[in-house]
């Protein structure tokens, strides 16, 4: 087992339990032993405890990202479970949920078991596999939901593609409802999207890049809201990008429909103006949208319409992204910049308190999945993130642990330096700079 | 003047002065073309590569002719879109061009922004010969040049641009150039082919073709592509022609000396009636001739500012040096104006 640890003198932030005070965090046998005075006296008197000074830093539950593409199996040139989870812990994440659009897709038990095994062998953090909704993600035949769930799948999605057929979506919701897991919808009407590559608006008009209207997303979210209401199955809307989508989700929640949503860092810090230079690192799906959409997303995060914050970490090789805009693949990496970008988008402009941001990156994503955890309660696995919210750092793709470097934030100066990431009480990442500030 | 530019990617990037400078140079080139032996040695020793990733006849011929009139060596690369497999090819093509020591690259590509990519990675000057639905700057320039030849000015002209604005790179280049030079541009076309926020170009959007033509000095008619019908953007050619086609009847609303323009190739009887295409107002074939002059001007200006060529002057006798050492042996006279009567062929 791991050695007993004490994270000494940090600001312990456990938003789900309303805790925000400077105190020690004690860890034993890979689990949270207690906070401050509440920790067992025997442990506090134990000379063998390794003390790590984290004064001036924030100590919070390990960050959770429920939207990550690890690319294994099949696209290991882009990312592997080993490199993707190392990127995760470098970004302060202790759990990632991985998307099933691998090659082949995660649509049967042996494939899921492969990912679970590889995660155990090579993963630096917890990996929760998400299964496909349909065989081959082709939108026709349903997967064996119960078998996949018993193999460890925690949600279902055809992410990368939507479940287009309303009848299939209806049946999937009906069949997953008893399992208590959501269908994560990549909401995008394929006909409205066409072969679009950027948000349809002034930037698409000016650049001649084919537009994707915001309605491509919101039409499907509206449909799914009706299906969720009718079936009682849970729908989670992946990577929300459009103002209309926020409005639909807000109304659905008001009506008591079992529906949740997430957004990404890039949709909160950038708008479609970023694509005007044809930089393929600004090509993502859903596309960067207008300033008005961005405002609506921020509002949705603040008022809780958007439950949680993910990354949609989507690694691609340099070669994949090197060329003209139309032919480049969609997506950017996000694990190693997420906290900094969310601080920049939400906390620095005072839209959210630090505590409310952490809630949306820890407890809330697990709640979306219907799971416990995401707190520092005694007895839970010691998944802990320590970061300095003030210390600035500069984004350098060459320093990433991810295999992929595709993102438009090179050279950005961000706050929120990750100092220490503990997974099950084990030090999974430790910054080279000394913990705590001089 | 585009004196410190490596590339010509679009008219959006150019100032009014730069555009006027190109048009002035094109006037001199037009005079060259009207001579018995329409050739000057300005680009001797330079190599231009015409990279056409999308089928094109007239634009490619026009560029090739322009290059030959300026005595450049030319190489052509033409491929259909489907045979080019994705981004690697553009990258590999770029690497090959770089390795071959090409001086000027003329590129037509089905992806908007592809020339911008090449411009970033190549030392050669890049001329956009049409990228996706983005821009076609030399077409915009030749249209504006043709207008200026006839009307003597651009400032204050009323120009109607009609048809499929959404997919038209010709429309975008025309609009940028015309608005910068002070024309008043009105557009009209099917509502399914109006780009989002199009008024932000500084154009007026007319409710229909008739309203757009009303009082126009110039009517520029865009080609309608058959595949737009398959995509459901208009119901049928018959419907398109009835609602948006420019007929002699509709043209009566324009000024009596209206110019009728079309970038070609025309769908006669669809967007433009037969008797309008061949009528007394049509300058459509003149556009083709002017296209060569405008492309000569662009090639010349980019080559000259690169320090790789000499101005098309009689004093360019220094060009007798070896072709392989163009930059050493050729004198660049950046101050030499092209409107001076110095464009005689070296014979």
Give CA–CA dist B64/B72, Å, rounded: 9
CA angle B270, B158, B189 (to 5 degrees): 35
Is the dihedral angle over the CA atoms B51, B54, B60, B63 positive or is it negative? negative
Q: What is the pTM of this model?
A: 0.91
**Are A115 and A160 members of one domain?**
yes
What's the rounded Cα separation, in Å, for the pair B343 and B335? Answer: 15
Same domain, A256 and A351: yes
Tell me, yes or no, whether A105 and A116 share the same domain. yes
Residue A13's DSSP bridge partners are A20
Cis peptide before A286 (omega within 30 of 0): yes
Q: What pLDDT score was predicted for residue B232?
A: 86
* Mean pLDDT (chain A, rounded): 96
Out of A341, A368, A395, a domain closes at A368
8 A C-beta contact, residue A248 and residue A221 = yes
User: Which among A200, A202, A208 has the least Cβ separation from residue B172?
Assistant: A208
Asked whether the predicted pLDDT for residue B346 surpasses 90, the reply is no
Predicted local confidence at residue B156, as pLDDT: 98
How far is the C-alpha of A346 from the C-alpha of A358, rounded, in Å? 11
Q: Which of A342, A368, A394 finishes a domain?
A: A368
Distance (Å) of CA A229 to CA A84, A154, A237, B242: 36, 21, 14, 47
Domain that holds residue A240: 62-368
- A41 and A181 share one domain: no
Both A322 and A290 in a single domain? yes
Residue A200 to residue B196, Cβ atoms within 8 A: yes
Asked if A208 lies within 8 A of B133 by C-beta distance, the reply is: yes
Exactly one of A159, A312, A383, A388 is catalytic; name it.
Answer: A312
Establish if A373 belongs to a structural domain: no
The reply to whether A411 falls in a domain is yes
| A278 CB within 8 Å of a chain B CB | yes
Catalytic (active site) residue A312: yes
Residue B88 touches partner A, C-beta closer than 8 Å:
yes
pLDDT at A435: 45
Nearest-by-Cβ selection for A278 from B89, B116, B133: B116
- Average pLDDT for A249-270: 98
Whether the per-residue pLDDT at B318 is higher than 80: the answer is no
The SS3 call for residue B170 is: helix
Give the pLDDT score at B159: 98
Q: What is the mean pLDDT of residues A348-371?
A: 98
Nearest CA among A288, A335, A289 for reference residue A93 = A335
**What pLDDT sits at residue B320?**
37
User: Is A209 in the same domain as A316?
Assistant: yes
- Rounded alpha-carbon distances, angstroms, from residue A260 to A35, A241, A247, A269, B126: 32, 14, 12, 22, 49
CA distance A366 to A260: 12
**Residue A361 shares a structural domain with residue A389:** no
- Whether residue A31 is contained in a domain is answered as yes
Q: Tell me, yes or no, if A318 comes closer than 8 A to chain B by beta carbon.
A: no
> Could you tell me if A330 and A284 lie in one domain?
yes
Residue of B88, B90, B112, B230 to mutate for A, most A C-beta atoms under 10 A: B112
Q: Does B206 touch chain A (CB under 8 A)?
A: no
**Closest Cβ opposite residue A209 in set B113, B169, B200:** B113
ipTM rounded to 2 decimals: 0.90
Q: How far apart are CA B22 and CA B305, in angstroms?
A: 13
* Residue to test with chain A: of B7, B87, B193, B197, most A Cβ within 10 A: B87
Identify the CATH number of the domain in which residue A22 sits: 2.30.40.10
pLDDT digits (tens, 9 = 90+) for B13-34: 999 999 999 999 999 999 999 9
Residues A350, A355, A358: CA angle, nearest 5 degrees: 105
- Asked if B132 lies within 8 A of A209 by C-beta distance, the reply is yes
* First-last CA distance in chain A: 32
What's the structural domain count of chain A?
A: 2
Is residue A106 assigned to a domain? yes
Tokens representing A60?
């919070």
* Structural tokens at position A325: 């805009």
Q: What is the pLDDT of residues B264-315, one digit of tens each?
A: 999 999 999 999 999 999 999 999 999 999 999 999 999 986 554 444 444 3
Which 8-state DSSP code applies to residue A181? Answer: -
The 10s digit of each residue's pLDDT in B105-135 is 999 999 999 999 999 999 999 999 999 999 9
Q: What is the pLDDT of residue B89?
A: 72
Specify the CATH number for the domain of residue A206. 3.20.20.140
Domain assignment present for A101? yes
- The answer to whether the CB atoms of B111 and A327 lie below 8 A apart is yes
Domain shared by A146 and A278, yes or no: yes
| Domain shared by A363 and A394, yes or no | no
User: What tens digit of pLDDT does each residue of A6-40 get?
Assistant: 999 999 999 999 999 999 999 999 999 999 999 99
**A202 and A222: one domain?**
yes
| A84, part of any domain | yes
Which of A345, A368, A391 is the last residue in one of the domains? A368
For residue A374, is it within any domain? no
Q: What is the mean pLDDT of residues B318-342?
A: 36
pLDDT of B2 > 70? The answer is no
Q: What residues 207-246 of chain A have any CB closer than 8 A to a CB of chain B?
A: 207-211
pLDDT at A1: 59
Does residue A247 share a domain with residue A132?
Answer: yes
Q: Is residue A437 part of a domain?
A: no
Q: For testing the chain A interface, which of B13, B81, B110, B113 should be mutated: the one with the most A CBs within 10 Å? A: B113
Evaluate if residue A48 carries a pLDDT over 80.
yes
Reported confidence tier of residue B202, pLDDT bands at 50, 70, 90: very high
């Amino acid at each position: 087992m791991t050695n007993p640890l004490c994270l000494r003198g940090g600001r312990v932030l456990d938003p789900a339990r309303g805790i925000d005070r400077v105190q020690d965090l004690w860890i034993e046998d890979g689990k949270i032993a207690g906070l401050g005075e509440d920790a067992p006296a025997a442990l506090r008197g134990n000379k063998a405890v390794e003390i790590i000074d984290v004064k001036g830093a924030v100590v919070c539950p390990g960050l959770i990202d429920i939207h990550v593409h690890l690319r294994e199996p099949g696209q290991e040139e882009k990312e592997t479970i080993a490199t993707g989870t190392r990127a995760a812990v470098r970004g302060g994440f202790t759990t990632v949920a991985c998307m099933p659009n691998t090659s082949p897709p995660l649509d049967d038990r042996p494939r899921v078991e492969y990912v679970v095994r590889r995660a155990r062998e090579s993963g630096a953090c917890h990996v929760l596999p998400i299964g496909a909704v349909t065989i081959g993600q082709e939108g026709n035949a349903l997967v064996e939901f119960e078998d996949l769930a018993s193999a460890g799948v925690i949600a279902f999605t055809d992410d990368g593609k939507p479940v287009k057929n309303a009848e299939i979506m209806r049946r999937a919701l009906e069949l997953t409802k008893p399992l208590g897991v959501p269908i994560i919808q990549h909401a995008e009407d394929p006909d409205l999207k066409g072969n679009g590559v950027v948000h349809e608006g002034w930037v698409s008009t000016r650049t001649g890049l084919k537009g994707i209207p915001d309605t491509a997303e919101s039409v499907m979210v509206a449909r799914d809201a009706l299906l969720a209401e009718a079936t009682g199955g849970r729908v989670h809307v992946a990577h929300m990008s459009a103002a209309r989508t926020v409005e639909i989700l807000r109304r659905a929640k008001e009506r008591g429909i079992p529906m949740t949503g997430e957004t990404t860092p890039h949709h909160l810090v950038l708008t479609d103006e970023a694509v005007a230079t044809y930089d393929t690192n600004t090509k993502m799906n859903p596309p960067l949208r207008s300033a008005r959409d961005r405002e609506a997303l921020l509002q949705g995060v603040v008022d809780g319409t958007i439950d949680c914050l993910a990354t949609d970490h989507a690694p691609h090789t340099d070669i994949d992204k090197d060329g003209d805009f139309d032919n480049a693949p969609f997506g950017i990496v996000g694990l190693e910049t997420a906290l900094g970008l969310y601080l920049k988008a939400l906390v620095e402009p005072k839209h959210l308190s630090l505590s409310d941001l952490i809630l949306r990156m820890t407890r809330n994503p697990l709640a979306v999945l219907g799971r416990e955890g995401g707190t520092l309660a005694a007895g839970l696995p010691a998944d802990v993130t320590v970061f300095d919210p003030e210390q600035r750092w500069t984004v350098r793709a060459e320093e990433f642990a991810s295999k992929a470097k595709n993102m438009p934030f090179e050279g950005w100066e961000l706050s929120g330096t990750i100092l220490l990431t503990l997974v099950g009480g084990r030090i999974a990442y430790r910054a080279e700079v000394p913990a705590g500030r001089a | 003047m585009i004196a410190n530019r490596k590339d010509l990617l679009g008219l959006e990037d150019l100032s009014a002065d730069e555009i006027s400078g190109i048009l002035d140079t094109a006037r001199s080139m037009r005079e060259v073309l009207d001579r018995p032996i329409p050739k000057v040695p300005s680009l001797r020793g330079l190599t231009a590569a015409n990279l056409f990733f999308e089928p094109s006849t007239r634009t490619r011929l026009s560029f090739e002719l322009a290059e030959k009139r300026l005595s450049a060596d030319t190489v052509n690369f033409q491929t259909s879109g489907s045979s080019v497999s994705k981004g690697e090819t553009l990258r590999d093509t770029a690497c090959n061009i770089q390795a071959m020591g090409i001086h000027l690259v003329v590129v037509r590509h089905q992806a908007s922004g592809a020339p911008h990519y090449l411009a970033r990675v190549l030392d050669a000057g890049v001329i956009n010969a049409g990228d996706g639905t983005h821009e076609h700057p030399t077409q915009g320039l030749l249209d504006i040049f043709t207008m200026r030849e006839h009307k003597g000015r651009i400032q204050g002209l009323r120009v109607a641009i009609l048809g499929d604005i959404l997919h038209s790179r010709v429309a975008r280049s025309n609009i940028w150039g015309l608005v910068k030079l002070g024309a008043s541009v009105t557009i009209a076309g099917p509502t399914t082919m109006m780009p989002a926020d199009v008024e932000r170009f500084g154009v007026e959007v007319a409710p229909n073709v008739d309203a757009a033509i009303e009082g126009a000095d110039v009517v520029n008619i865009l080609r309608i592509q058959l595949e737009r019908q398959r995509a459901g953007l208009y119901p049928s050619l018959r419907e398109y022609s009835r609602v948006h086609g420019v007929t002699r009847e509709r043209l009566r609303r324009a000024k009596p000396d209206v110019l009728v323009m079309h970038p070609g190739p025309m769908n006669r009887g669809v967007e433009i009636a037969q008797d309008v295409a061949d009528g007394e107002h049509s300058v459509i074939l003149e556009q083709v001739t002017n296209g060569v002059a405008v492309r000569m001007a662009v090639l010349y200006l980019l080559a000259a500012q690169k320090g790789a060529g000499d101005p098309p002057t009689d004093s360019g006798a220094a060009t007798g040096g070896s072709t392989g050492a163009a930059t050493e042996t050729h004198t660049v006279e950046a101050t030499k104006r092209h409107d001076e009567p110095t464009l005689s062929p070296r014979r």
